[in-house]
Amino acid sequence: MSTTDDAMTMTSETLTIKKTSLKEKWWHIMDTWKVGIIPLPLFLLAGVLIAIDCLYGSLPSDIVVMVATLAFFGFACGEFGKRLPIVGKLGAAAICATFIPSAMVYYGLLPDTVVESTTRFYKSTNILYLYICCIIVGSIMSMNRDTLIQGFMRIFFPMLCGEIVGMLVGMGVGLSLGMEPFQIFFFIILPIMAGGVGEGAIPLSIGYAALLHMEQGVALGRILPMVMLGSLTAIIISGCLNQLGKRFPHLTGEGQLMPDRRNVDQPTASAPLFSAKTDVTTIAAGVLLAVLLYMIGMLGHKLIGLPAPVGMLFVAVLIKLVHGVSPRLLEGSQVVYKFFQTSVTYPILFAVGVAITPWQELLHAFTLNNLLVIVSTVSALVATGFVVGKKIGMHPIDVAIISCCQSGQGGTGDVAILTAGNRMSLMPFAQIATRIGGAINVSVSLLVLGNFLI
């Protein structure tokens, strides 16, 4: 009887071990096999559910379905880019997440229902601005006050030097190729540094239509591809700079422009420390803080015409400098920043690729002469930022990545460039480079065109 009891006990224990082992294997798959941040079983389930909706011909564009759709395609494209040999470490993930969807739309490889729903969702929700405002506020709240002040005071000089050298080099290369000076500057170099599409290419096309007596659509068609190619070049260079920083750590602050002279036990912008007090309500308050600051920026845009992200940026800096929020709320903002950086970037880039990145425009501008002028312009701009930043005591690689943003495709370009460079905490400075720098370039150039060349 005892032997039988022992055998039954051993059998029961064996079954328990087998059951536990099977459960642990499943948990192991859930925790370690991932596409981006998505556990593989959930990724496959999302793919099946999206496919079923597509087969029925109706993929809802509401936020619930779009969260799954953008996450599925965005992380799939990003993961593909990360796993590419060599270029996977040079920013290919951000490039693939943006331009593969654009190419799939153009060649008809993406279901029409996905394209329509994604485009409708992106344009109706302005989800990009929620992303940008949470990134800006979170990164500003993570910075040391002294570093923040010094960074904003010093960043303009490398930006100015970079633009001057970039323009001169681009003009020199274009002239050596036999291109017309007017064409080189106003239809290649200036669009690259105009600050993207909404704040750059469109105002330029309106100005050209009025001053050069051409159709705005024609002008935009010539400008937009240069903006895209300039941004693509900047993404690649930013990825290369990130690898350079890994090889030569003394050249980078890993997301900080200025050398950090604080005590070593204090958190840095690139590695914020979160205490156990950061609960869900604090994180929610951090989101609300970012949204309210953006609303203030929108109000400033209506009153004085300053772009809303820039107005929000200045208010956030002011709040940080005067200790306007508690340390606990600062931590909540940092958690929000980290969440959007890790979980929302690739879905956003996928939506951008589908909704507002015309693949055919990129192909039309892909000529050898255009490419040489664009690459030389952006490379000179970035190299100048690197050298000048080092000379004035800043981290040269981080300054150079901000210089990349001067030739980015607006807010979407900033996201892709900083993602490729793994420096999302530099978003506040990137917004200055893109929006303020672009606005100045467009205004001055149209003024010169209207008063001296026409």
Which of 396, 410, 317, 440 is CA-nearest to residue 155? 396
As a whole number of Å, the end-to-end CA separation of the chain is 108
The chain-wide mean pLDDT, for the chain, equals 83
Residues 73 and 139 reside in one and the same domain: no
Asked if residue 71 has pLDDT above 90, the reply is: yes
Q: Which residue has the higher pLDDT, 411 or 72?
A: 72
> Which domain-ending residue is among 120, 149, 182?
120
Do both 115 and 137 map to the same domain? no
Q: Residue-wise over 41-60: b if at least 16 C-beta within 10 A, else e?
A: ebbeebeeebeebbeeeebe
Q: Last residue of some domain: 120, 155, 172? A: 120
pLDDT in tens, 305-356: 777 877 888 888 888 888 888 888 988 998 998 898 889 989 998 998 898 7
Tokens of 287: 């989101």
Task: Answer whether residue 1 is part of any domain.
Answer: no
**Residues 116 and 199 reside in one and the same domain:** no
Compute the C-alpha angle 245/249/251, nearest 5°: 70
Is this prediction's pTM over 0.85? no
Band (238; pLDDT cuts 50, 70, 90): very high
Long-range CB pairs of 283-286 (<8 Å, 24+ gap) are 283/332, 283/335, 283/336, 283/339, 284/332, 285/329, 285/332, 286/137, 286/138, 286/329, 286/331, 286/332, 286/333, 286/334, 286/335, 286/336
Asked if residue 233 has pLDDT above 80, the reply is yes
Asked if residue 183 belongs to a domain, the reply is yes
- Assigned domain for 434 exists: yes
Would 12 be classed as within a structural domain? no
**Does residue 237 sit in the same domain as residue 94?**
no
Position 20 scores a pLDDT of 62
- 88 and 135 together in one domain: no
